[in-house]
Amino acid sequence: MDIFENIVLGFSVLLHPANLFVCFMGVLTGTLVGVLPGLGPAAAISLLLPMTFKLSPLTGIVMLAGIYYGAMYGGSTTSILVNIPGESASVITCLDGYQMARKGRAGPALGIAAFGSFIAGTFSIITLMLIAPPLARMALKFGPPEYFALMLLGLMVLSYLSSGSMAKAWVMAALGFFLGTIGQDRMIGTLRFTYNIDVLMDGVGLVPVVMGFFGIGEVLINLEGSLKHEIFKTNISNLFPNLQDWGKAILPIMRGSVLGFLLGVLPGGGAIIASFASYAMEKRLSKHPEEFGKGAIEGVAGPESANNAATGGAFVPLLTMGIPCNVIMALIMGALLVHGVRPGPFFVKQYPDLFWGTIASMYIGNVMLLILNLPLIGIWVKILKIPYHLLFPLIILFCLIGVFSLNNLVSDIYVMAIFGMLGYLMRKLQYDGAPMVLALVLSPLLEDAFRQSLLMSDGSFFIFFQRPISLGLMGVTILLALSNLIPWFKRRPIESKED
């Protein structure tokens, strides 16, 4: 089956009215999530995750993917009009987008953000479509040692790039691993770390954990900070950039698309790093770097293109190797696993309708987003005026309904409440939750790969260093771990001399 037949298959599956409706609702919800400061795609997907368990696997992943890349679109609106990023990947857009609005150029800023996002999103979808199948075939050469080394590297890279210190990231990853081991042993069936508590016998569920950590925890933090924002009053007109704007923005859009996709593929990379890297690159390449931070359209076009391209790149390791590269991909992987669908090298071959249907949904979703974003700017501005104290009760209600409807267990609400308080405390202490969630999702897979590897080698740990691919991956992991100790070694001679 060639690529054109696969595309036809994807669109034939997606063009079912129910799938189209869910795709529309996903991108609309994602845009709204991006527009509202203080929510973010991770929290929104956590809230809506239980809903996908009642849907088919394709419909569920189409909705979650739509929320993800829809939030990347919507985040630019608040950055430009309010100088508050709707989600973290749009932080850098505030620098020049808000300054353009203050100069009366909010329209071109919003327009180039939308068009740049559409071009970058389309580029990432085409690239994903072209490289995913051959990459999946290459991944068939992976055995348990290679998978263990790859997942370990992914966690190490995510810890290395996460906010805060690496030691804190390791603590959160260790907590995630511990949570993943609670319940029945997957190989011999004995109970572990349950302490005779019935709720823990089936393990700690992903949904109560993420809804508590990202939903309840986010609400508590925002209530403490009492989000207040004032929309800059300007006439939003001329949403279509002129030829001069396009001349300045087209190369940043192209460069941001390529850079964003590449950084999106890397574990721990994602939209945040892509947008910051794109801004730094455009400022370095510009003939007038002094204009950046004062309303340069390149400072909007590059980062907004990069963060949207990164969303497509993030699907590559998930769908081809079964490795989520960020917390949102971990949530999508959790949704697929609940449906009995395991992403990995066999995913494209075993579930062609699911893979190509997801690709088709991204094409359609990008077009929907372009159509939605420009005409509905006025509505998004009105939504921004809603006080947060009216929004947070609805968020908590969605959390309660979502977590209870999953298994109809009150105990899941208690678990969510506990992790909501934990999420609040972790944010106060500047601990990043992404390594914990990723470790929680990967813990069963990592443990299985580790134990299978030891069974293959009769208990010898050298199996991870005897195979070329696993040796290379383990080598990079060890180097990343040791690189964090370099500052400590640099301080040691000074301290010894003082002694």
| pLDDT tens by residue, 169-206 | 788 888 888 888 888 887 777 888 888 877 788 788 77
Is the per-residue pLDDT at 496 higher than 50? no
- Torsion on CA atoms 94, 100, 102, 103, rounded to nearest 10: 170
Whole-number average pLDDT of the chain: 79
In angstroms, the CA 95 to CA 498 distance is 44
In angstroms, the CA 331 to CA 96 distance is 32
Percentage of the chain modeled with pLDDT above 70:
84
Is the per-residue pLDDT at 404 higher than 70? yes
Amino acid at 206: L
Contact 307, 260 (CB under 8 A): yes
Is the per-residue pLDDT at 495 higher than 60? no
Q: What is the pLDDT of residues 317-336, one digit of tens each?
A: 888 877 777 778 888 888 88
Give the DSSP per-residue string, 5-62. Answer: HHHHHHHHHHTSHHHHHHHHHHHHHHHHHHHSTTT-HHHHHHHHHHHHTTS-HHHHHH
Contact 363, 125 (CB under 8 A): yes
**Residue 383's closest CA among 65, 25, 81?**
81
**Residue 277's closest CA among 131, 362, 169, 161?**
161
In angstroms, the CA 296 to CA 77 distance is 16
Is the per-residue pLDDT at 95 higher than 70? yes
Residue 52 confidence (pLDDT): 80
SS3 253: helix
Beta bridge partners of residue 192, listed in sequence order: 183
- What average pLDDT score do residues 18-46 get? 80
What ranges in 53-92 are assigned the alpha helix state H? 57-81
In angstroms, the CA 244 to CA 274 distance is 25
- What average pLDDT score do residues 376-395 get? 70
In angstroms, the CA 300 to CA 108 distance is 10
**Residue 463's closest CA among 474, 449, 453?**
453
Confidence of residue 113 (pLDDT cuts 50, 70, 90): confident
- Between β-strands 191-192 and 183-184, what pairing exists: parallel, antiparallel or unpaired? antiparallel
In angstroms, the CA 60 to CA 71 distance is 17
Neighbours of 8 (CB within 10 A): 13
Residue 9 confidence (pLDDT): 84
Amino acid at 32: L
Q: What is the pLDDT of residues 411-457, one digit of tens each?
A: 888 888 888 888 888 888 888 777 787 788 778 878 888 888 888 88
Is the per-residue pLDDT at 226 higher than 70? no
Q: What is the pLDDT of residues 227-283, one digit of tens each?
A: 555 555 555 556 678 888 888 889 999 998 998 888 787 665 567 778 877 888 888
The helix-helix angle for 217-225 and 388-407 (nearest 10°) equals 170
183 membership: H or E segment, kind and range: strand 183-184
Question: Which residues, 6 or more positions from 292, have their beta carbon under 8 angstroms from its beta carbon?
Answer: 95, 96, 279, 282, 283, 286, 298, 299
Beta bridge partners of residue 191, listed in sequence order: 184
Count CA within 13 A, CB hemisphere, residue 452: 15
Question: Which residues, 6 or more positions from 443, have their beta carbon under 8 angstroms from its beta carbon?
Answer: 176, 177, 179, 180, 181
- What average pLDDT score do residues 32-37 get? 74
Lowest mean pLDDT among 55-59, 89-93, 98-102: 89-93
Count CA within 13 A, CB hemisphere, residue 238: 13
61-80 burial code (b ≥16 CB/10 A, e <16): bbbbbbbbbbbbbbbbbbbb
Percentage of the chain modeled with pLDDT above 90:
1
- What average pLDDT score do residues 372-384 get? 71
Lowest mean pLDDT among 5-14, 93-102, 206-215, 387-396: 387-396
333 membership: H or E segment, kind and range: helix 327-338
Contact 158, 435 (CB under 8 A): yes
**Count of residues making up the chain:** 499
Is the per-residue pLDDT at 149 higher than 80? yes
Contact 79, 90 (CB under 8 A): yes
Residue 230 confidence (pLDDT): 53
Q: What is the pLDDT of residues 456-493, one digit of tens each?
A: 888 888 888 888 888 888 888 888 777 766 665 665 55
- What average pLDDT score do residues 99-124 get? 85
